[in-house]
Amino acid sequence: MKKIIQIPLPYWNERPKKCAVKAIVLHCSAQEGVPMIKLLRKLHLSSHFVIGSDGRIFQPVPEAKRAFHAGVSSWRGMNNLNHYSIGIELSSSSMGEEAYTPQQLASARSLCLDLIRRYNIPAQNIVAHSDIAPTRKPDPGKAFPWQQFAQYGIGLWYDLNDAGKVAENDVEKLLRQIGYNTDNLPAASYAFCRHFLPELVAKQHDTHRIITDIYPENFVLPKEYLPHLKACAYKFSKRY
């Protein structure tokens, strides 16, 4: 793994007692590494790590501290993921619409694998910002290679052959089984697609629209993709 460059930010506090690290949240920002940290400072926000497009890794906040990266969020029984997670920001001028660079993906893989090993983070809890805040956030975007990362044990991916092992057909129940908050079902369904069915996510060329038009208000998962959701729910129901 590349040497980690320390550029401290003051925007953090202590994790609540009994809130151990058990998740990694991946984000993206249209800013490059150092400018991104400057922007976080301006916004009074922070993340534990920032990875530039050149693969350099910066650390604004110590892992033991609670960084301000996730906001209002939930996942698999955890509310406020800032309490439980380590946040990693990736530079992406397209906000995850175009492919990430090989250098930053290599750095992200190495960093995630190191964190998973040291904190024993379950694969179910390696998530996108869009997974934990589906009504508010689109990052790290449809171009993040979740399937590729799952091959390294970073997150989970489904096997369509498992769809027949799940009797449930209710989309909302299946999404909840994976970990999504389904208070807004269209948003949760679209967040699922960002992560697991990116071909169903409309490509945006306007960065502003990416961060303001998070999901189609009337989005419904097409019926032909129900097996993908069922297979994913099966995968997330298993222990890793």
Distance in angstroms between the alpha carbons of the first and the last residue of the chain:
24
Output DSSP code: residue 16. Answer: P
- Whether 163 contacts 227, CB under 8 Å: yes
Assess whether pLDDT exceeds 80 at residue 240: no
Give the model's pLDDT for residue 108: 98
Assess whether pLDDT exceeds 80 at residue 218: yes
Rg, C-alpha atoms of the chain: 17
Dump pLDDT digits (tens) for 44-63.
999 999 999 999 999 999 99
Query: Domains in the chain, ordered, with CATH?
Result: 4-237 (3.40.80.10)
Output phi, psi for 207, to 5 deg. Answer: -60, -35
DSSP, collapsed to helix, strand or coil, labels residue 78 as strand
Which distant-in-sequence residues (6+ apart) come within 8 Å of 223 by Cβ?
Answer: none
Tokens of 8: 């401290």
Dump pLDDT digits (tens) for 70-125.
999 999 999 999 999 999 999 999 999 999 999 999 999 999 999 999 999 999 99
Q: Give the mean pLDDT of the chain.
A: 96
Assess whether pLDDT exceeds 90 at residue 214: yes
Give the model's pLDDT for residue 205: 80
Say which of 14, 32, 63, 89 is annotated catalytic: 89
Output DSSP code: residue 37. Answer: H
Dump pLDDT digits (tens) for 139-149.
999 999 999 99
**168 counts as catalytic:** no
Number of H helices, E strands in the chain: 8, 10
